[in-house]
Amino acid sequence: MTVATLQEAPPKRLELESAVVRFAGDSGDGMQLTGGQFTQATALAGNDLATFPDFPAEIRAPVGTTFGVSAFQINFGARDIRTSGDAFDCLVAMNPAALKVELKGLRPGGLLIIDTGSFNDRNLKKAGYDTNPLEDNSLAAYQIVTIDISALTMEAVKDSGLSKKDALRCKNMWTLGYVYWLFGRDRAPTVDGLRAKFAKKPEIAEANIAALNAGHALGETSEVDFPGYHVPQAEIAPGLYRTVTGAEALAYGLAVGASLAEIPMFFGSYPITPASNLLHNLSRMKQFGVTTFQAEDEIAAACSAIGASYAGQLGVTSSSGPGVALKTEAIGLAIGVELPLIIVNVQRAGPSTGMPTKTEQSDLYQSVYGRNADSPVVVLAARSPGDCFEVAIEACRIATQFMTPVYLLSDGYIGNASEPWLIPDVDTYDHFPVKFHTETEGFHPFLRNPETLARAWAKPGTPGLEHRIGGIEKDYNSGHISYTPENHQKMTETRLQKIANVAKTIPDQDVEVGETSGKLAVVGWGSTFGPVSRAVQNLRDEGLDVSHIHLRHIWPLPSNLGKLLSGYEKVLVPEMNTGQLLTVLRAEYLTPAKGLNKVAGQPFKIAEVEAAIRDELES
Amino acid sequence: MTVATLQEAPPKRLELESAVVRFAGDSGDGMQLTGGQFTQATALAGNDLATFPDFPAEIRAPVGTTFGVSAFQINFGARDIRTSGDAFDCLVAMNPAALKVELKGLRPGGLLIIDTGSFNDRNLKKAGYDTNPLEDNSLAAYQIVTIDISALTMEAVKDSGLSKKDALRCKNMWTLGYVYWLFGRDRAPTVDGLRAKFAKKPEIAEANIAALNAGHALGETSEVDFPGYHVPQAEIAPGLYRTVTGAEALAYGLAVGASLAEIPMFFGSYPITPASNLLHNLSRMKQFGVTTFQAEDEIAAACSAIGASYAGQLGVTSSSGPGVALKTEAIGLAIGVELPLIIVNVQRAGPSTGMPTKTEQSDLYQSVYGRNADSPVVVLAARSPGDCFEVAIEACRIATQFMTPVYLLSDGYIGNASEPWLIPDVDTYDHFPVKFHTETEGFHPFLRNPETLARAWAKPGTPGLEHRIGGIEKDYNSGHISYTPENHQKMTETRLQKIANVAKTIPDQDVEVGETSGKLAVVGWGSTFGPVSRAVQNLRDEGLDVSHIHLRHIWPLPSNLGKLLSGYEKVLVPEMNTGQLLTVLRAEYLTPAKGLNKVAGQPFKIAEVEAAIRDELES
Amino acid sequence: MNAVTQKEKLTAKDFATDQEVRWCPGCGDYAILKAMQKAMADMGQSTEDNVFVSGIGCAARFPYYMATYGFHTIHGRAPAFATGIKLSNPDLNVWVVGGDGDMLSIGANHLMHVLRRNVDLQVLLFNNEIYGLTKGQYSPTSREGTRSPSTPLGSVDRPIDACTYALGAGATFIARGIDSQQKHLPGIFQAASEHKGASFVEVLQNCIVYNDGVFNEFTDRDVAADRQVHVEAGKPLIYGADGNKGIRLNLQTLSLEEVVIGENGVTEADLLVHDPSNRTLAGMLAAMNGRELPVALGVLYCSQEATYEAAVHDQINAAKQSAKITSFNDLLRTGHTWVAGG
Amino acid sequence: MNAVTQKEKLTAKDFATDQEVRWCPGCGDYAILKAMQKAMADMGQSTEDNVFVSGIGCAARFPYYMATYGFHTIHGRAPAFATGIKLSNPDLNVWVVGGDGDMLSIGANHLMHVLRRNVDLQVLLFNNEIYGLTKGQYSPTSREGTRSPSTPLGSVDRPIDACTYALGAGATFIARGIDSQQKHLPGIFQAASEHKGASFVEVLQNCIVYNDGVFNEFTDRDVAADRQVHVEAGKPLIYGADGNKGIRLNLQTLSLEEVVIGENGVTEADLLVHDPSNRTLAGMLAAMNGRELPVALGVLYCSQEATYEAAVHDQINAAKQSAKITSFNDLLRTGHTWVAGG
Ligand SMILES: Cc1ncc(C[n+]2csc(CCOP(=O)(O)OP(=O)(O)O)c2C)c(N)n1
Ligand SMILES: Cc1ncc(C[n+]2csc(CCOP(=O)(O)OP(=O)(O)O)c2C)c(N)n1
Ligand code: SF4
Ligand code: SF4
Ligand SMILES: [Mg+2]
Ligand SMILES: [Mg+2]
């Protein structure tokens, strides 16, 4: 086996400030695992980083098809990293389909690593290639490294005793070894990890390690026309780190939030992509008293959570847009009976089934406005995987202190992506303990806290506080059914005011990057945080007068936001939808904001945001 | 039996420009029937009129309770009548509970007719009276006519052979007779009607007629200190009239609309107050090829209607807010697969179960914004019972011509209220025939009409056009499943543009009352039409610079609306919600509009709108 | 431990609220309410440990009239709310109340799941074969041909039988009663409450306004004895004004038939003996509807199985006991961590 | 009338689309698809008059691969869409396809209603006892103790049996098949299609990724003959590698038992003979699940009753025929009218 295109080896590594690498292969090629390992090694090497796992809708798409391509992207660097990167600096294509799908993302001149062993006629045809791109000069714009990884892997593990099929499955480790060499990563933790993972099947562990080492060795020894890269350590806030996905951080944050409220948490949900991981994570947290209930549908999930809140627990439910649609009637009841409820929405591309595995931010309307009647609720949005932890705690605080449903918006990108996370010390968080009503004298269930307007929460089982609640309008003064006009007016206004009161308990909106006034404010929310903050920073570095404001509280909005926005000449609102926060801001503040809207199932690229900012500043 | 408080009879009837009469009694007292008869007699007398049936939530509330009070209000006059009236000029209270509940609506000095026969201790207590209001001088502000109607009825029908219970049930006809005398109404049609209705029980017919005549006779003969009233004929557009409720007009309009589209209509629904009447009316229209399907729930109702549209019929579904909430996931599918669907929402007071029998306009957010994802639809609103007919036809046109779901908003008030209706000539309406796709060459289901962007509609059963559609994103060029980013962007924009295109086919927004520019525009929608147009007219008559604009097309908005609104210094938006159209207008046009918001389960009073207009003009 | 103060046993009246009952005069729901209040007193229940959860409908107003905890929720979903309540606090005795529309039209799926999961609740279905609250439309239990506002020419749906459905859904306790039978109904409620697991009780309820007399063919005084069989565990299926009618299994057709003791040589020994643990028998009893065969009343089926909430809590407790990581700070620090910066 | 051109009979291949099939390699759904394409050809069906309607799930992708009309709708609601389609055009042959999650978790209510109404559809439930598409969570048909991402310590729900549920829901046709049995499956589909009314077919389907081998206890080659009984109308329930096993009704316990012909004096005459019209028998057959007794395959139940869409259209046609008012202008002018103004 020779490595045909490799040439002379130059003396020392090229230094890069940051690099974007994308691993792409067949669903069965283990790209997510490869990416995960590379992420860990990169974190250990002291880089800041962000990742983007991008897998197909199909469980196991037929081998070699374009729709079966699974990819994992990582951006890492010596500076702080805000997104998983725009164009790739390096693309690993394990088969023709991966090349076909991913090539357009590789920057001109970028490094293209190809497993030639998979470029046979059959695979080329499946990928829709008429001619072999390795032979028709169509890849001339890139720096290509072609390796018969399949063959080299077989060679490396030939003594392992594995079947051919199993042996070939080590391809990804071979590739990882090679890429480790490319970026000067340490193999030891991966080797340890493999031994631990396959403790019961040592022959598999050793074969994978052999492949890893062989890939690495090829980099070290072969004669290549590039030297490998070095990405120096980033300046990172000191402390203990781990990687965390949005789904993990959400699970932790909700459970911690309930513990800060000092009540047990009940989680009723129904699986749906990309929200299911939250259910999976919480299902493994039983020792913390978390009850998880996989209901028969989204309606039952929401209703069970409301039932739990009625019984004195913190009811939480989760889904994605189409499932949340089903919950809205029940959420209306929670609004009417004023019980705590957290509705996590991990947004995905729609309408309808849409593109379940692709990300979008298009459920803001649904969250803020999407119910019958005057049904005000609280809406929060997380900006990044790690931020999910903080936002979840905030949701628990508001839900229990204000006896109200709270929507917590995440999205497919945040949910699946992982980032390094400075692990918080849970003991430093303020408690916000629930005080169940116990006084029987003068009790009725719609007694209110005069400050917040939250109603009294009395737990079934408490003698002397027996009461009945329901969705019919209630008398302000007794909690009994009431159909009188004045009372309905008063109750409607009270519900509205209660939600408005939440704004009194949240911090003033700050400016993420830039000044508190100026030419242009870019107002983002949710997962656009990365590209927007990077783009604004880049252009400020160029001297442009642009600032970045990023909202966590979508409803009610922070009290100072209107005033803050009025300090800028222009406002630009980038969203992965057709302009939903835009509507809210324009309606609230009459601010002549414009939208930057991308609805492609993919995060913004930094360059897209930069271009829009330039346009806005120039026009 | 003497009629204690009646005094000397004056010579001739007082002339009134208009009068508001409210009949109130126990659920079992037959007030709705009485009101209906009075309405018919009043229409025949040549007055314009509007009515408001206001019945309790309970099926048959316990006798004598305040929550069992059933009322019927009518406003009639010599000028055109726009609402069922603010304060009552005359209140008929058949028992203490009715007095208790309704008295506050009677204008000071108004006429109060009371059946003293029901003012016994038991009933007084049930109504929550500590002392008898007939004796404690608490009614001094009104002109009172106390009659022992119960006793006089018994007397009148004593020869009928009816049981005491049945005899007493004629009380309402006695009362009607008296009120007929009061306003100089002809009894003959009612007499004929009673004979027809009770053709098989002539003794009941005759007893009722005897009671009617006795009540009338008392007015004629007794010595009263007022002369009865005369309300001259109104100037009414000439033609053949009938009374129509919103539910009836909707049923007719939908069936006629489908026939203008030249396809059969399928109606899938699930009962819910106050929307059920539409189901009931359409269930009786089978001879027009209307299929009605009472589904197991709202979801199935919507899905069955979408299925019908897929099969080539015009699918229609209906509900009220909480039920529409359940349909939103399915509506998302109809948006995604681009099939016609009409969703009728007869709005009621919420949130949640709220006050099902009370009216509200609070589902505008739900209609315009209330779905996950970027899911644009068309939203129309009817302003009055008769207008339901026209709006239903418009909904049929848009749904079929644009292959889109259309929300049609009515409300509890419009649905139940009846008004005189100049019966349209159906033969004069333009057809908008559906052209099913038949060409097999080059067919795919997402071929688009280049003008409207509506997709091709191919009916199952057509050879050569076999195709599969679904909720997953579709390729713009083939209709097959597609997950590519650019395609999703394009399809999202196409769906948005298609709905925007609807605006090209609707008339420019006109000004209902007043000028096309000026100090203040009052922008209404739906059932606020009556009070808003009357209030604006009244104040214009006083010389104030105020105009009334009333929207039928809520989304997309008429193309000229932004420009039109910018011609006024101020914009006021009265709504029976906390400011929903207001949000849409502010967000769309950045117009600094203000809201006038009533959330009491009851229509605006003219005076309330007038006061707000004055405030706006003065501030 | 503190000495427990002996509470006074409550009477039926203690279970009534001060709320005015808003059903139509003569509605069968009144009788059911009365039977329930009696059953609660009979069982020595407390007001604070019982929760009534309901959907929407006339039946579903029930909680307002019980001086216990109560939650009047949304249409069709009461079983799901109840599941959340019971899982959150298994010490509560949770009742679910709804009509035939609530439970078998919009809500039959939740009903099925709560039954198959065997959550320890009592589910009471007040079957008046009509939608009362929305003014009389036909329901999934309405007989074919029912004329109603939405079926002016008569309904054409095949109705569902509530008990048969519950059996297919995997219920572990199925009983049937009649609103007016104050002698039987409290006992049925008590049996349901005592059953560990999901108990399903169908109460045939007369809607005097929209479906009056729909059960007359077996409730009318003159036919009742001949058209009703009250089943009791271990007792033969005997009924009739003269106490001489019985139910026998026809082995040829594998179906039930009515026989008269003493006629054609039939003796009591030929009759079926009620065995509440036999599903096949329960299926045949549930199908008896008062037309060809008398309607079967009482506990048709009962089988003791593990309850859902107990199993869920067993898992949680086991997880707590065996947990190695017990603080959130430790949990957050599991897996791969590294120190950076500084 | 025009002369009808005799269409050529289509082959199984003619029912395949050009879309790449996106199931996992080795998924049982492939075999079901093949059986369906064969059945369509066997029946001489056309592509244009058949519609496949599905919910969401791996199973629910089925319509994309049939060259007929198809509608991939939303999770759990396919029966409701199908009802609208069938009512709108009764000439269409409408099939509903979904998984155990689709039809028995979120969608069991719609399934029940379509069965009890007896809408003339074929409902095919591909039961792999798992949620495939969402990556392997347990489903309402999963056995107790199923470990899945949402039940890492094992599920604690009692599973529902699909055919038992269908029977309780009032189905008029119930059959059960196995994905890989190409000999039996097309025939079952054909019988379902020929049945006038709602046909319910459960297909046991292997999910090779998330629940591989869950049916092995009766599908494994070495046990299959002993653990499966293929029922046929009028034939005794005989099975077994040696063709000598049978099912007998135990009259004492009113339950089924396995016997061996020739042992303990058992003869073929002692065995139960399959009668698809007997609901009680169907209930017992449905409950046979391959554990204590062999799994029952084939048409378990079939009873001819009026179909919903026919009854609806009969009413509409009758209304048209007897209508006195036939124009909208007349309709609008019924009731009380008056002339005003002018
Ligand atoms: C989501 C929703 N859909 C519909 C309704 C209207 N609704 C209320 S009760 C009911 C059915 C009542 O029938 P049933 O459950 O049999 O109770 P009953 O009144 O007969 O006791 C309906 C359709 C509602 N409240 N909510
Ligand atoms: C409203 C809604 N809820 C949840 C989902 C997610 N979802 C899609 S398929 C599915 C279940 C799949 O299981 P099953 O029906 O058994 O089909 P299989 O994939 O096993 O064939 C779920 C929960 C969805 N698409 N829509
Ligand atoms: S409508 Fe029927 S069920 Fe409802 S309260 Fe009245 S009698 Fe009872
Ligand atoms: S996940 Fe299972 S059911 Fe779905 S396609 Fe793969 S093998 Fe088939
Ligand atoms: Mg009912
Ligand atoms: Mg499945």
| Most confident option among A16-20, B8-12, B39-43, B504-508 | B504-508
What span, in angstroms and rounded, lies between the C-alpha atoms of B376 and A365? 11
The conformation of residue B474, written as its DSSP 8-state character, comes to B
Across residues B237-266, what is the average pLDDT?
96
C239 DSSP β-pair partners: C245
CA atoms within 13 A on the CB side of A34: 34
Per-position b or e across B126-138, b if 16+ CB within 10 A of its CB: bbebeeebbeeee
Q: How far apart, in whole angstroms, are the C-alpha atoms of residue B103 and residue A199?
A: 84
The DSSP secondary structure of C273-308, one letter per residue, reads BP-TT-HHHHHHHHH--SSSSPEEEEEEEE-----H
Instruction: Give the model's confidence band at D5: pLDDT under 50 very low, under 70 low, under 90 confident, else very high.
Output: low
Q: Which helix (H) or strand (E) holds A72?
A: strand A69-77
Contact C339, A239 (CB under 8 A): yes
Q: Would you tell me how many other CB atoms lie within 10 Å of the CB of residue B515?
A: 14
Q: Which of A33-42, A145-154, B316-325 has the highest mean pLDDT?
A: B316-325
The answer to whether A174 and A180 have CB atoms below 8 angstroms apart is no
- pLDDT for residue B5: 40
In this predicted model, what pLDDT tens digit does every residue of B297-311 receive, in sequence order? 999 999 999 999 999
Q: Do D112 and C160 touch (CB under 8 A)?
A: yes
Atom 5 in ligand 4: residue holding the nearest Cα: D23
**Distance of alpha carbon C220 from alpha carbon C222, whole angstroms:** 6
Q: What is the DSSP letter of C102?
A: I
Residue B619 neighbours by CB under 8 Å, 6+ apart: none
pLDDT digits (tens, 9 = 90+) for A302-342: 999 999 999 999 999 999 999 999 999 999 999 999 999 99
Ligand 2 atom nearest to D106, measured from its CA:
3
Question: What pLDDT sits at residue C342?
Answer: 52
Regarding the beta carbon of D210 and ligand 4, being less than 6 Å apart is answered: yes
Shortest CA distance to D74 belongs to which of B357, A323, A274? Answer: A323
Q: Is C262's pLDDT higher than 60?
A: yes
Write down the pLDDT at residue C7.
67
Kindly list the residues from chain D whose CB atom is less than 8 angstroms away from the CB atom of residue B241. Answer: 337-340
Nearest-5° Cα angle at A24, A19 to A28? 145
Q: How far apart are CA A452 and CA A556, in angstroms?
A: 14
Neighboring chain D residues of B235 at a CB cutoff of 8 Å: 341
Q: Is A120 exposed, middle or buried (0-12, 13-18, 19+ CB in 10 A)?
A: middle
Query: Are B90 and B19 spatial neighbours (Cβ–Cβ below 8 Å)?
Result: yes
Token code pair at residue B553: 């097309």
Say what the pLDDT of residue D342 is: 52
How many CB atoms neighbour CB B435 within 10 A? 10
Give CA D308 to chain center in angstroms.
17
CA distance C96 to C120: 11
Percent of chain B with pLDDT over 70: 98
* Residue identifier of the C-alpha nearest atom 8 of ligand 3: C27
Cα A94 from Cα A611, distance rounded (Å): 33
* Six token digits for residue A149: 């990884």
pLDDT band at C2 (very low <50, low <70, confident <90, very high): very low
Q: Is the Cβ of A128 closer than 8 Å to some Cβ of chain D?
A: no
Average pLDDT, chain C: 96
Q: Is residue D336 pLDDT above 90, yes or no?
A: no
Q: Which residues from D are below 8 Å from A297, CB to CB? A: 76, 105-106
The closest alpha carbon to A495, from A341, A372, A337, A340, belongs to A337
Q: Region A96-112: what's the mean pLDDT?
A: 95
Contact B303 D80 (CB under 8 A): yes
Q: Provide the pLDDT for residue C335.
A: 84
CA dihedral B582, B586, B591, B594 (to 10 degrees): 30
**Least-confidence region, from B221-230, B346-355, D305-314:** B221-230
Strand pairing category for B14-15 and A568-575: unpaired
Contacts with B268 (C-beta within 8 Å, 6 or more apart), sequence order: B292, B293, B295, B300, B301, B302, B303, B304, B305, B308, B315, B316, B317, D84
Are A242 and C336 in contact (CB < 8 Å)? yes
> Nearest 5°: CA angle at B450, between B448 and B453?
55
pLDDT digits (tens, 9 = 90+) for B114-163: 999 999 999 999 999 999 999 998 999 999 999 999 999 999 999 888 99
Tell the residue number behind the tokens 């009216």, with chain if given. Answer: B359
pLDDT score recorded for residue C4: 45
Distance CA D158, CA D152 (A): 17
Mean of pLDDT values over C193-207: 98
- A224 pLDDT tier (thresholds 50, 70, 90): low
Least confident of A404-413, B213-222, B573-582: B213-222
Closest residue in chain A to residue D132, using alpha carbons only: A59
- Which residues make Cβ contacts (< 8 Å) with residue C294, sequence separation at least 6? C218, C226, C227, C228, C229, C239, C245, C247, C258, C288
Asked whether the predicted pLDDT for residue C1 surpasses 50, the reply is: no
All residues at 6 or more sequence positions from A134 whose CB lies less than 8 Å from its CB, including other chains = A114, A116, A119, A146
CA C156 to chain centroid? 27
Does residue A57 carry a pLDDT above 90? no
Touching D (3+ Cβ pairs <8 A), the chains are A, B, C
The three state secondary structure string of B263-319 is: CCEEEEECCCCCCHHHHHHHHCCHHHCCEEEECCCHHHHHHHHHHHHHCCCEEEEEE
Mean pLDDT of B81-94: 94
Asked if pLDDT for residue A4 goes beyond 70, the answer is no
Instruction: Give per-residue pLDDT as tens, D34-79.
Output: 999 999 999 999 999 999 999 999 999 999 999 999 999 999 999 9
Q: Which of A175, A214, A230, A167 is nearest to A23 (CA)?
A: A175
For residue D7, the model assigns a pLDDT of 67
What's residue C92's pLDDT?
98
ipTM confidence: 0.95
> Which residues, 6 or more positions from D212, have their beta carbon under 8 angstroms from its beta carbon?
D206
In this predicted structure, the answer to whether residue B3 has a pLDDT above a threshold of 70 is: no
Kindly indicate the confidence band of residue B497, based on its pLDDT and cuts at 50, 70 and 90: very high
Contact C142, C148 (CB under 8 A): yes
pTM, full prediction: 0.95
Name the pLDDT band for B225 (thresholds 50, 70, 90): low
Residues A588-608, mean pLDDT to the nearest whole number: 97
Write the CA distances from A310 to A461, A495, B50, C62, integer angstroms: 11, 18, 45, 18
Q: Given a cut of 60, is residue A120 above it in pLDDT?
A: yes
Q: Which two tokens stand for residue C341?
A: 């910066």
Which chain A residues touch C339 with a CB distance below 8 Å?
Answer: 238-241
Among the partner residues D20, D134, D152, nearest to A276 by beta-carbon distance: D134
Local confidence band at A473 (pLDDT 50, 70, 90 cut-offs): very high
Tell me the CA distances in angstroms from D335 to B244, C54, C152, D228, D330, one per residue in order.
10, 42, 18, 66, 10
Task: Tell me the per-residue pLDDT of A258-294, one tens digit each, with 9 for 90 and over.
Answer: 999 999 999 999 999 999 999 999 999 999 999 999 9
Q: In A, residues 164-203, which contact C (CB 8 Å cutoff)?
A: 189
pLDDT at C244 over 80: yes
Three-state SS annotation for A168-186: HCCHHHHHHHHHHHHHCCC
Residues of A (280-299) whose Cβ lies below 8 Å from D: 280, 283-284, 286, 292, 294, 296-298
Q: How much is the average pLDDT of C12-20?
A: 95
| A40, A44, A300: residue with CB nearest C80 | A300
> Taking Cα atoms as reference points, which of D55, D133, D64 lies closest to residue D97?
D55
Contact C142, D116 (CB under 8 A): no
Pocket of ligand 3 (CB under 6 A): B 59-60; C 23-24, 27, 29, 58, 128, 132, 207-210
| Strands B14-15, B229-230: pairing kind | parallel
Site of tokens 């190409």: D182
The span from the CA of B177 to the CA of B175, in Å, is 5
SS3 content of chain C, % helix, strand, coil (to 5): 35, 20, 45
Q: Which pair of tokens denotes residue D270? A: 């002692």
Can you give the pLDDT at residue A27? Answer: 87
| Backbone conformation region of residue B15, classed left if phi is above 0, alpha if psi is from -120 to 50, else beta | beta
For residue A594, which of A566, A613, A567, A610 has the smallest C-alpha distance? A613
For the Cβ of C132 lying below 6 angstroms from any atom of ligand 1, the answer is yes
DSSP code for B186: -
Residues B426-432, mean pLDDT to the nearest whole number? 98
pLDDT interval class at A223 (50, 70, 90): low
The residue-averaged pLDDT of A129-145 equals 93
Residue of A67, A296, A317, A416 to mutate for D, most D C-beta atoms under 10 A: A296
What mean pLDDT do residues C153-173 have?
98
The conformation of residue B233, written as its DSSP 8-state character, comes to P
Contact indicator for D247, D271 with CB cutoff of 8 Å: yes
In whole angstroms, what is the distance from residue C200 CA to residue C173 CA? Answer: 6
Strand stretches in B440-584, DSSP E: 468-470, 518-525, 546-551, 553-555, 568-575
Tell me what pLDDT residue B224 has.
59
Over range C180-186, report the average pLDDT: 98
Parallel, antiparallel, or unpaired for β C121-127 and C199-204? parallel
Bridge partners, residue B73, by sequence: B22, B52
Nearest in space to B606 (alpha carbons), one of B160, B145, B79: B79
In chain C, which among 80-99 make CB contacts under 8 A with chain D?
Answer: none
